[in-house]
């Protein structure tokens, strides 16, 4: 456990906010599908003197002197990432997932080139070419989506037709709100037909792939995989770009630095090495499998009690609930009332949503963080009962107060790593 004694003495205002956040995390349920709790060792590494070093370049080829130990930790992170995901090259310097995707596009495309990616309203991500991003000023994004929202099956025939018509240079997989698995073999075959590079943004499911609970796109011949390191992979906040071979890796490295970034954040790279070391251990396989068992159990339990889930279930760590169909209220209202009892999730658009993005019909929830705390299937039922009771009694202030106390008592049985309750 950390004492933060220097911070406490020097800056009471920041310490007080930190104390509040630690209490919030310990006493509440974290169901935001992209969040997790890192181990004390990863947390410790993020606060080390590696912060003090400038290390532009790559191990063995830096611009400044004094890189003996930064080279050691970056090499460890690279080698562990390659081993974890069975690929030939890893760049561990991207500061986050969006910068990783931007560097990837510029490494592989020329201005005006086309990318065929997942429909954003079917679960795709902003960095896959949402019109609000500057990416769309430079590259042309076209879309594939689900054939059937009831099953979540991707329309691979439409994907093939679109690929033949638009001749994309990249066929892009990946999502932040899609509860099913992609058929990488079919995607690779379509890409090969039109000469496209295959890229998977596995940010949400990296830990599930690392733990062997979901398929690895590299096993199906994918060329490049981008990711964040802090979601299911349970590492520090950051990004990473993996490639199947050193040839593509060279282009990626040039694009990350000096193309887009300056000095890498070395304490985070050291923490990535620690997190990847954890993910290589046998117990991480069990963690990944339990995330999915919890997710499927929670999904089933909620559906049996009237919740309408997009695709009627889940194959991964997340589920998307249509709140209008389930309970006759919008996602934002569900988010707010659950937050009031200590259950955190996020409002989310659903496919073909009739409502605006800031006031959508759905909520997204996921099990990576609660699984890290040690919750199992029976606990999913308790959580679902809290969720359903909170929504049902949303106008009853006294009931909400009692529910908040019950949620807190329940959570305190599952310590958050590194936080003393
Ligand atoms: N913010 C992340 C998520 O919640 O999925 C994606 O960028």
Say if residues 228 and 272 touch (Cβ distance below 8 Å). Answer: no
pLDDT of residue 420: 78
Say if residues 114 and 166 touch (Cβ distance below 8 Å). Answer: yes
- Mutational pocket test of ligand 1: of 31, 204, 357, 369, the residue with most ligand atoms within 8 Å of the beta carbon: 204
Per-residue pLDDT of the chain (421 residues; tens, 9 = 90+): 788 999 999 999 999 999 999 999 999 999 999 999 999 999 999 999 999 999 999 999 999 999 999 999 999 999 999 999 999 999 999 999 999 999 999 999 999 999 999 998 899 999 999 999 999 999 999 999 999 999 999 999 999 999 999 999 999 999 999 999 999 999 999 999 999 999 999 999 999 999 999 999 999 999 999 999 999 999 999 999 999 999 999 999 999 999 999 999 999 999 999 999 999 999 999 999 999 999 999 999 999 999 999 999 999 999 999 999 999 999 999 999 999 999 999 999 999 999 999 999 999 999 999 999 999 999 999 999 999 999 999 999 999 999 999 999 999 999 999 997 6
Question: What does the alpha-carbon distance between residue 392 and residue 279 come to, in Å, rounded to a whole number?
Answer: 39
Distance 15 CA to ligand 1 centre (A): 27
Question: What does the alpha-carbon distance between residue 232 and residue 314 come to, in Å, rounded to a whole number?
Answer: 15
283 carries an active-site annotation: no
Question: What does the alpha-carbon distance between residue 163 and residue 144 come to, in Å, rounded to a whole number?
Answer: 9
Residues touching ligand 1 (Cβ under 6 Å) are 34, 97, 176
* Nearest protein CA to atom 3 of ligand 1, as residue: 34
Q: Which atom of ligand 1 is nearest to the CA of 126?
A: 7
- What is the CATH T-level fold of the domain 44-279, as seen in this structure? 3.40.640
Helix (H) or strand (E) holding 208: helix 206-210
68 carries an active-site annotation: no
Give, in words, the CATH class of 287-411. alpha beta
pLDDT of residue 91: 99
Omega of the bond prior to 258 within 30 degrees of 0, cis?
yes
pLDDT of residue 3: 87
Say if residues 350 and 362 touch (Cβ distance below 8 Å). Answer: yes
- Reading the block at residue 32, the tokens are 């935001």
Q: Which atom of ligand 1 is nearest to the CA of 97?
A: 7
Distance 125 CA to ligand 1 centre (A): 8
Longest dimension (CA), the chain: 64
The separation between CA 90 and the C-alpha centre of its own chain, rounded to angstroms, equals 18
Scored b (16 or more CB within 10 A) or e, 73-108 reads bbebbbebbbebbebebbbbbbbbbbbbbbbbbbbb
Helices (H), 257-281: 266-279
Question: What does the alpha-carbon distance between residue 156 and residue 145 come to, in Å, rounded to a whole number?
Answer: 9
- Reading the block at residue 147, the tokens are 């054939």
Distance 395 CA to ligand 1 centre (A): 30
- Mutational pocket test of ligand 1: of 34, 331, 360, 363, the residue with most ligand atoms within 8 Å of the beta carbon: 34
- Reading the block at residue 281, the tokens are 């251990």
Cα→Cα distances 3→8, 21, 52, Å: 9, 15, 22
**Residue 194: exposed, middle, or buried by beta-carbon count in 10 A (0-12, 13-18, 19+)?**
middle
Distance 348 CA to ligand 1 centre (A): 11
Question: What does the alpha-carbon distance between residue 387 and residue 407 come to, in Å, rounded to a whole number?
Answer: 10
Cα→Cα distances 97→57, 202, 247, 307, Å: 20, 10, 22, 31
Residue (of 155, 153, 159) closest to 172 by Cα position: 159
* Nearest protein CA to atom 4 of ligand 1, as residue: 34
Helix (H) or strand (E) holding 364: strand 362-366
Backbone angles phi, psi at 237, to 5 degrees: -65, 130
**Extents of the domains making up the chain:** 44-279, 287-411
**Residue 120: exposed, middle, or buried by beta-carbon count in 10 A (0-12, 13-18, 19+)?**
buried
Residue (of 145, 186, 191, 144) closest to 168 by Cα position: 191
Say if residues 313 and 382 touch (Cβ distance below 8 Å). Answer: no
Q: Which atom of ligand 1 is nearest to the CA of 35?
A: 4
231 carries an active-site annotation: yes
Sort residue 406 into left (φ over 0), alpha (ψ -120 to 50) or beta. alpha
110 carries an active-site annotation: no
56 carries an active-site annotation: yes
pTM as predicted: 0.97
- Reading the block at residue 286, the tokens are 């069990």
Question: What does the alpha-carbon distance between residue 288 and residue 10 come to, in Å, rounded to a whole number?
Answer: 40
What's the residue count for the chain? 421
pLDDT of residue 278: 98
237 carries an active-site annotation: yes
């Amino acid at each position: 456990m950390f004492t933060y004694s220097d911070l406490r003495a020097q800056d009471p205002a920041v310490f007080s906010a930190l104390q509040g956040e630690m209490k919030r995390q310990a006493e509440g349920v974290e169901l935001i599908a992209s969040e997790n709790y890192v181990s004390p060792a990863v947390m410790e590494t993020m606060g080390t003197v590696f912060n003090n070093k400038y290390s532009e370049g790559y191990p063995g080829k830096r611009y400044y002197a004094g890189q003996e130990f930064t080279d050691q930790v970056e090499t460890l992170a690279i080698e562990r990432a390659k081993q974890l995901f069975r690929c030939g090259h890893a760049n561990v310097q991207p500061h986050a997932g969006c910068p990783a995707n931007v560097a990837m596009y510029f490494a592989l495309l020329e201005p005006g080139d086309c990318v065929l990616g997942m429909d954003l309203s079917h679960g795709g991500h902003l960095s896959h070419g949402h019109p609000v991003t500057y990416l769309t000023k430079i590259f042309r994004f076209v879309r594939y989506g689900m054939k059937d929202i009831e099953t979540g099956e991707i329309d691979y025939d439409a994907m093939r037709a679109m690929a033949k018509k638009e001749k994309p240079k990249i066929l892009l997989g990946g999502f932040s709100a899609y509860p099913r698995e992609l058929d990488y073999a079919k995607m690779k075959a379509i890409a090969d037909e039109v000469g496209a590079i295959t890229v998977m943004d596995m940010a949400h499911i990296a830990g599930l792939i690392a733990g062997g609970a979901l398929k690895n796109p590299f096993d199906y011949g994918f060329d490049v995989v981008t990711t964040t390191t802090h979601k299911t992979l349970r590492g520090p906040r950051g990004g990473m770009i993996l490639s199947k071979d050193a040839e593509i890796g060279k282009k990626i490295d040039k694009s990350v630095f000096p193309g887009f970034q300056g000095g890498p954040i070395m304490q985070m790279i050291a923490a990535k090495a620690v997190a990847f070391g954890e993910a290589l251990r046998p117990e991480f396989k069990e963690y990944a499998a339990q995330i999915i068992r919890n997710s499927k159990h929670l999904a089933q339990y909620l559906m049996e009690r009237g919740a309408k889930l997009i695709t009627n279930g889940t194959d991964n760590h997340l589920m998307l609930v249509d709140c209008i169909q389930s309970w006759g209220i919008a996602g934002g209202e569900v988010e707010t009332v659950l937050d009031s009892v200590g259950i955190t999730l996020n409002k989310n658009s659903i496919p073909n949503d009739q409502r605006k993005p800031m006031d959508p019909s759905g909520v997204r929830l996921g099990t990576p963080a609660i699984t890290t705390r040690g919750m199992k299937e029976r606990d999913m039922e308790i959580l679902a009962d809290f969720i359903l009771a909170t929504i049902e009694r949303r106008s009853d202030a006294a009931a909400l107060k009692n529910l908040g106390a019950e949620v807190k008592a329940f959570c305190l049985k599952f310590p958050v790593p590194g936080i003393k309750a």
